Amino acid sequence: MALSKKIEATLNQQINEEWFSAYLYKSMAAYFKSMNLKGFAHWMNLQTLEELSHGEKFFNFIHDRFGTVKLTAIKTPQLTWKNPLDAVQAALKHEQHITSKINELMTLAQKEHDYASVTFLNWFVTEQVEEEAAADELVEKLKFIGDNKAALLGLDRELGQRTLSKN
């Protein structure tokens, strides 16, 4: 069954959302690199790769459902933040925004009884729980660390150990 025009358009918008997410995290990676927080930069770089793969999933799904992929301009992300906490709070807020976009898509797919899209979107519903939890963990750790530079460097070392998940 081919995608409805409305679902096709919304899935195409989601490619842009995911690839904008990649751009935003890459901008955060540059910000952390400029502060010599290489572990944070590494974490953001892996986040970028995940977001690229999310966009790819939508790209392939549209194609598999006989739809047409339509790429649109990706806006300029924020380039700097007040401090590391400000940046990870922006990341959390962004993930909450993405969750609301996935939920809108799910509502639309359910309304149109497009069960293939519902099943496809289920993966993203679960993924967003992890994405919000991971960003929230960083926010909480940085709040706990406060002005303690040694603790900040410890967290930076920890984040430098992150490996790419297999999804």
CB burial string 76-102: b at 16+ within 10 A, e below: ebeeebeebbebbbbbbebbeebbebb
Residue from 8, 114, 131, 156 in contact with Fe ion (CB under 5 A)? 131
- A 10 A CB-CB count for 42 gives 18
Q: Which is nearer to Fe ion, 128 or 152 (CB)?
A: 128
| Residues 18-47, interacting with Fe ion (CB under 5 A) | 18
Q: What share of the chain is helix, strand, coil (3-state, %, to 5)?
A: 75, 0, 25
Return the range that interacts with Fe ion (CB under 5 A); candidates 51-59, 74-82, 115-123, 137-145: 51-59
At its nearest, how many Å lie between Fe ion and the CB of residue 22? Answer: 8
At its nearest, how many Å lie between Fe ion and the CB of residue 148? Answer: 28
- Per-residue tokens: 19: 């690839």
Total residues binding Fe ion (CB under 5 A)? 4
Interface residue list for Fe ion (CB under 5 A): 18, 51, 54, 131
